């Protein structure tokens, strides 16, 4: 059964990056539908696929799934051989926890540093955004120390948790945010991932943009 993934602009849509990266990394075939975001036509175009008015959307036969973390959970059940989540019970629970925290939190960082892969310029951050970065990097260091012995990702090998945090890696690069050595190495790991490189190439080739680049879905 074929999969269709509806996404926004690759330069801006952090939520879209997450399931796209998971599918592309595991070489799972899917049809990609891009809906430019931030235009007067965006909402109507997205509603063709979901009443939630947001991307990404995964269409899997008769099932329509939105919200990036829900899509990743569905893919983990649909393709157990891909091991989207860590095998070990304690590591898997921890990956679920930090992925859920990413999904629901870090509002200041999202607002002040929207994903913009083409951007390369430092920005002064509010204390709230600095606190968000501090919390993210604490989680990265903790995951790497406790579960990362098998490779360079948060839980050693690539997992859905890396998909959830890949957009933060782009923000650190785009806004020239200073982080510790472990976190800086993790950013490099994300940027070196072949699937991410394909996404980045697509983002660099896009010619459309937002009326304001500080607004993303």
Q: HSE-up of 200 (CA within 13 Å, CB side)? A: 17
Instruction: List the domain boundaries for the chain.
Output: 3-82, 89-198
**What HEC string does 87-110 produce?**
CCHHHHHHHHHHHHHHHHCCHHHH
End-to-end Cα distance, the chain: 29
Question: Do 89-198 and 3-82 have the same topology in CATH?
Answer: no
Omega of the bond prior to 56 within 30 degrees of 0, cis? yes
Angle between helices 160-174 and 127-147 (to 10 degrees): 140
pLDDT tens string, the chain, 217 residues long: the values are 599 999 999 999 999 999 999 999 999 999 999 998 878 888 888 888 888 888 999 999 999 999 999 999 999 999 999 999 999 999 999 999 999 999 999 999 999 999 999 999 999 999 999 999 999 999 999 999 999 999 999 999 999 999 999 999 999 999 999 999 999 999 999 999 999 999 999 999 998 765 444 433 3
Whether the pTM exceeds 0.75: the reply is yes
Sign of the Cα torsion 198, 163, 15, 178 reads negative
Show Cβ contacts of residue 100 under 8 Å, excluding neighbours closer than 6 positions. Answer: 69
CATH class for the region spanning 3-82? alpha beta
pLDDT at 117: 96
* Topology (CATH level 3) of domain 89-198: Glutathione S-transferase Yfyf (Class Pi); Chain A, domain 2 (1.20.1050)
CA–CA dist 199, 22 (Å, integer): 11
The answer to whether the CB of 84 falls within 8 A of the CB of 104 is no
pLDDT at position 46:
86
């Amino acid at each position: 059964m074929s999969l269709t993934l509806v996404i926004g602009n690759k330069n801006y849509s952090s939520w879209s990056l997450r399931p796209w990266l998971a599918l592309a990394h595991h070489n799972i075939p899917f049809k990609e539908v891009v809906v430019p975001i931030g235009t007067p036509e965006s909402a109507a175009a997205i509603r063709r696929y979901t009443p939630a008015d947001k991307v990404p959307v995964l269409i899997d036969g008769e099932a329509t799934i939105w919200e990036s973390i829900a899509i990743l959970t569905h893919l983990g059940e649909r393709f157990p051989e891909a091991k989207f989540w860590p095998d070990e019970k304690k590591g898997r629970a921890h990956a679920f926890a930090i992925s859920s925290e990413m999904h629901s939190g870090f509002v200041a960082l999202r607002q002040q540093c929207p994903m913009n892969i083409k951007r390369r310029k430092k920005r002064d951050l509010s204390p709230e955004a600095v606190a968000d970065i501090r919390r993210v990097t604490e989680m990265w260091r903790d995951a790497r120390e406790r579960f990362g012995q098998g490779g360079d990702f948060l839980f050693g090998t690539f997992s859905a948790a890396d998909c959830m945090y890949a957009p933060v890696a782009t923000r650190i690069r785009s806004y020239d945010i200073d982080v510790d050595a472990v976190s800086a190495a993790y950013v490099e790991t994300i940027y070196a991932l072949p699937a991410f490189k394909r996404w980045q190439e697509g983002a660099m080739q896009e010619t459309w943009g937002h009326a304001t680049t500080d607004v993303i879905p």
